[in-house]
A and B are shown apart, each in its own frame.
Chain A
Amino acid sequence: MADFIRNPVVALPDPNPESYFSEEELIFTEDEKARIAGWVSQYPTSDGAVMWTLWLAQEKFGFLPPEVLQLVAAELSLPYAQVYGVATFYTQYFKEKKGTFVLDVCTCFSCQFCGGYDILAYLEEKLEVKRGHTSACGRYTLQEAECLGACGSAPMMQVNNGPYAHNLTPEKIDELLEAMEAGKPLPFVSVTLPQDEDEMGGNRRTDAEAVEGYITPPRSERTQ
C-alpha cells in the first residue's frame, strides 16, 4: 500500500467525535417540529427546508456540531452528507463553538477605505482577541466579514448574525460593548425604519451622522 494511503496528507475527521450535547438535549420540541413541518410544506421536497431548519438548530444549540446535523438530517429524512454539505458551504452556519456575542466587522472595500480595519484593530485591542478567534472569557468572537451590504454607512458590523451597527467610531463601540456587558438592548442598531429622510435633504439613510469618523487612514498596520 502506498504510503500516502496509510498516512493521509489531509487530516481525516474523527470517526467517533466527542458529543457536545447529551441525548436528552438533542431533540426538537413539538413546537419546533411544527415550524419545521411548516417550512417543509412550502417546498416541493423536504430538501428546501434544510437551510431554515439549520437556522433553527443554530438558534437552539448555538452552533452546529455533527450530532446536531444528524438530528436535522433525521428530522428532514435526508442523508447526513447533504446536511453536512450545506452546513459547511455557508459561512453563517457555525461549525464550532462561538462566543456569546459574535461580532462580524465588515472590511470589504467600502468599509476598508472608511476605516473598517481600524475598527477591527480597535476591537482586537479592546477585547484582547485576534480576528477569527474567541476571547479567553468566551464572551466575544471577533470575525472579519465580507460585504454585509451597508456600504453607505461604513464602517459597520453585525452582531450575532442579526442587527447591524452602522457608522462605527471608537466611542460608539465603547457604548455598544458596555451595553453588551450589562445585558441591555444594543444602541445604534438600524433595524427600525428611519423615516426622517426629508430632514437630511435627500433619500439617504439617516444614521450617517458620524462622518468625522471617516478620517481614519485607508489602511491600518497589518496585524496578521
Chain B
Amino acid sequence: MTKAGNWQSYERVLLPPVENLHHLDVYRAHGGYETLKRVLKELEPQEVTAQMKRSGLRGRGGAGFPTGLKWSFMPPVKPDVPRYLCCNADESEPGTFKDRQLMEYNPHLLFEGILIACYAMSLNACYLYVRGEYASWITHLEEELAKMYNANLAGKNMLGTGHCMDIVLHKGAGAYICGEETSLMESLEGKRAYPRIKPPFPAQSGIWGYPTTINNVETLACAPLILGKGADWFAGIGAEKNPGPLLYGISGHVNRPGVYEYPTGMLITDLLEIAGGMRGSKKLKALVPGGASVPVLRADMIEGVTMDVESLREAGSMLGTAGMLFLDEDTDMVAFLRRVAHFYHHESCGQCTPCREGTGWMENLITRIDDGEGNLRDLDLLLDLCDQMEGRTVCALADAAAWPVRNTIKRFREDFERRCRPAVWAVNA
C-alpha cells in the first residue's frame, strides 16, 4: 500500500470525465456552483478559511505553502481599503502544463474556487493573470466569464446575496518572471515586471499597495471540492502531509505523455507505468520531478520515492509543480543543462546583478563544455558561480537557475567530465 492508497480506483475530481464540462450549463447540471451557494448561505468567512486549513491543502504553484494559512494572513477589513485576490495562471515553468488543461476542461471549477476565496477573505475583485501565450484559452475563458455575468454568478449583487465579486482577466505578454508573485503584481500594475523585496508580503501590501492574496489555478480549483465534499474527505486523499488530488504533467520520453490526475504521494515508478513506460523500451536515465528549477534525479534515486513534498525532499529534490520530465538513456545531460541555462538567461528580468550576469556566465560556460572546449576546472567554476547566485537576489529566479546546474553537475558529473578537456595533457614521449 502506497501513500496514494487505492489509486487504481481513484475517481477524478479536478478533471472529471464529463463531456463539455467547460460549458456553464453542463457544469451546473453536474452540481456546479451549488457549493458556492451553500457556502454563501450557511458559512461565515472565517469558517471557510478554517475548513481550508483543516484540509491541509498546500499551494500547487511550486512553493507548497499551506493555502488556509495564507488566506488567514489577510488583515481585517477596513472601510475604503480595497483588497484583491490574484489568480496566478502565468504557467511558464518548463515541463508544467497542468493549469492550461484545467482552464480548458473545467474553467468553472476555477471560477467557483475564486468566488469562494473572495468570500472567505471578504474581497471584491479577483485578477486572473493568464500568460499571453494562452491567447486561445483567454478567449475561451472570456466567453465563459460573460455567461457567468449573464447568469448573475459574478458581479454586483451576485446570486442575490448582496455581495459584489468581480473577476477580471489580465493577459500577460510572455515573461517567465511574472509567475513570481511580486513580479506578477508589478505586471498587473502596468510596469516592467521586476520582483519586489519581501517583506512587505502581498497580504500587507500587494497590488497598488492594497492587501492581496495570490494563489495558483489548481489551488483555487481545490477550494470548491474541499467545501463541497468536506475537509476530512480532502485530507484523506493521498499523502498525509500533502493531501489532495494532484495534476501530474508527464512529458519527455514516455509513450503516453499528458496530464494525469491522481492523488498526491504516487510512486514515481507507478506514474511511469501509467504514462505507458519509456518509449522504445529504453532505460530511464534522469527525471525532473517538478519543473525546470527543481534538482534532477538519477534513475537509481527514484526507487520507492513518492510524489509529495516530504518524500521528494528526502530524495534530494522538490515537488515543485509536479511537471515531470522523464529522460531516457540516450539523453545528453550537457545539452539538457545548456538548454536550462539558456532558459534562465533569457528569462532573467535583469534587476539584480548576480542573476543577470550569473545566468549569462552559466550559459557561456555550459555552452563551452557542450562544444567540447571546456576544462575540468569550469565545472568547479560553475559550482562556485551557483554559490555566488543563491540567496543574493530579490526573487528566487537565481536560486531556481542555480539548483538544476548544481545538482545536474553533481549527479551526472561523469557525463560532464567526459566532455571536458583532460586536466593534464598527456606528454608525447
Binding site for B on A (CB under 8 A): 42-52, 54-55, 78, 82, 85-86, 89-93, 107-110, 112-114, 146-154, 158, 161-164, 191, 193, 195, 197-198, 200, 202-205, 208, 211, 214-215, 217-219
CB nearest to B173 among chain A residues: A90
Scan residues 282-336 of chain B and give those whose CB is less than 8 A from a CB of chain A: 288, 292, 323, 325, 327, 330-332, 335-336
Tell me which of B19, B82, B176, B339 contacts A109 (CB under 8 A). Answer: B339
Shortest Cβ distance from B303 into chain A, in angstroms?
23
Give chain B residues whose Cβ lies under 8 Å from the Cβ of A198: 17
26 contacts across the A-B interface (CB closer than 8 A): A42-B166, A42-B168, A43-B188, A43-B190, A45-B190, A50-B190, A51-B190, A85-B192, A91-B174, A108-B343, A109-B325, A113-B327, A114-B251, A146-B92, A146-B346, A149-B92, A149-B100, A152-B250, A152-B251, A152-B258, A161-B133, A161-B135, A193-B22, A202-B260, A217-B330, A218-B332
B204 in the interface (beta carbon within 8 A): no
Complex Cα–Cα for A197 and B99 (A):
17
Scan residues 188-210 of chain B and give those whose CB is less than 8 A from a CB of chain A: 188-193, 208
Please state if A109 and B101 are interface contacts (CB–CB under 8 Å): no
B261 in the interface (beta carbon within 8 A): yes
Please state if A152 and B170 are interface contacts (CB–CB under 8 Å): no
Please state if B339 and A107 are interface contacts (CB–CB under 8 Å): yes
Complex Cα–Cα for A114 and B279 (A):
11
Given contacts A55-B173, A112-B335, A161-B135, A151 and B96 within 8 Å (CB-CB): yes
Tell me which of A44, A51, A193 contacts B172 (CB under 8 A). Answer: A51
Give chain B residues whose Cβ lies under 8 Å from the Cβ of A154: 251, 257
Given contacts A152-B249, A193-B20, A203-B15, A90 and B190 within 8 Å (CB-CB): no
CB nearest to A48 among chain B residues: B190
Please state if B133 and A89 are interface contacts (CB–CB under 8 Å): no
B378 in the interface (beta carbon within 8 A): no
Please state if B136 and A163 are interface contacts (CB–CB under 8 Å): yes
Please state if A147 and B343 are interface contacts (CB–CB under 8 Å): yes
Please state if B190 and A148 are interface contacts (CB–CB under 8 Å): no
Please state if B292 and A109 are interface contacts (CB–CB under 8 Å): yes
Give chain A residues whose Cβ lies under 8 Å from the Cβ of B249: 151-152
Please state if A149 and B131 are interface contacts (CB–CB under 8 Å): yes
Given contacts A89-B192, A93-B173, A202 and B256 within 8 Å (CB-CB): yes
Question: Beta-carbon contacts of B88-100 to A below 8 Å, as 1s and 0s?
Answer: 0001111111011
Please state if A92 and B190 are interface contacts (CB–CB under 8 Å): no
Tell me which of B95, B176, B331 contacts A151 (CB under 8 A). Answer: B95
Shortest Cβ distance from B148 into chain A, in angstroms?
15
B259 in the interface (beta carbon within 8 A): yes
Tell me which of A47, A148, A211 contacts B255 (CB under 8 A). Answer: A211
Given contacts A108-B343, A205-B259, A219 and B335 within 8 Å (CB-CB): yes
Please state if A204 and B257 are interface contacts (CB–CB under 8 Å): yes
Complex Cα–Cα for A5 and B340 (A):
38
Give chain A residues whose Cβ lies under 8 Å from the Cβ of B193: 89-90
